[in-house]
Chain A
Amino acid sequence: MSPNPNPTVSDAMLRAVPSLRAFAISLCGNVDRADDLVQETLLRAWANLSSFEPGTNMSAWLFTILRNLFRSEYRKRRREVADGDGSYADTLKTQPEQASRVEFEEFRAALAKLPQDQREALVLVGASGFSYEEAAGICGCAVGTIKSRVNRARTRLAELMSIESIDDFGPDRELKAVLSGGGGGNS
């Protein structure tokens, strides 16, 4: 048995890694960058363990650090991040077997079109399983702000997906691409 100084903490960190990665990928749309972001998060967290309050949500704390790191990095790199659509779809090459690949790619493309604030709120609440209150804590904003961001994200996605679903009845997939992609531009 090695004299592990923080067995619980390091276990909790490792347990959080899968969802940290999923969140990071949804933020930056690139697996390699996301993994670097997760690594930086773990290093930062480890170096600042004294500021973690035992008994509070380790996962939320790590998400907060990751988001802050991403934000400051994003501000630096803003210029090179401008590739909206394809990036998110390109990141995950593993084929989901549960649903059609086409549907997945359409969804990811739609998700990638959301403004960053809305996307992170939607992912935190709708996928990471955080409450509105926890998500507000992670994003450093009011609960009401999170709620409205989530709502706007859902509405926008519904619009994008509805266009696609309606067009499934039609003959022309290119038309769909024009409809869903053309209007968006660089919003």
Chain B
Amino acid sequence: MNDHNKPTGPKGPMAGSMQGATAHKRKSLNRETQIKIGAQLQMTYNEVVNQGVPDRFVQLIRRLETEAVEDAASGVGAGGLDGAKDTPSDKGS
């Protein structure tokens, strides 16, 4: 269990204070952990964000724009594509 407490030379008497340091470390771990959690959350998230916009979404938006232009030309207003069947924010939960 306490492998790291093996004697490291002439410092035998220090072992007691090392125990204390370990206990203290354990206590402050939560704050360190909180900072670590924040950083790792950001990194995990940014790993995806840094992938940028995959091509399929660029193409999707271009297609929607084109359709809207065509609809506008044929007299259907932009934004009225599928008709507002339902408003997502009103649905759910």
Contact = CB atoms under 8 A, between A and B. Distances in A.
Given A104-B44, A158-B37, A22 B49 contact: yes
Interface in B57-78: 57-58, 60-61, 64-65, 68-69, 72, 78
Contacts of B46: 22, 127
The SS class assigned to the A binding surface is: helix
Contacts of A170: 1, 3
A20 to B, nearest CB: 9
Interface residues of A, number: 62
The SS class assigned to the B binding surface is: helix
Interface residues of B, number: 52
Interface in A123-171: 123, 126-128, 140, 154, 157-158, 161-162, 165-166, 169-171
B51 interface: yes
B60 A111 contact: no
B44 A111 contact: yes
B19 interface: no
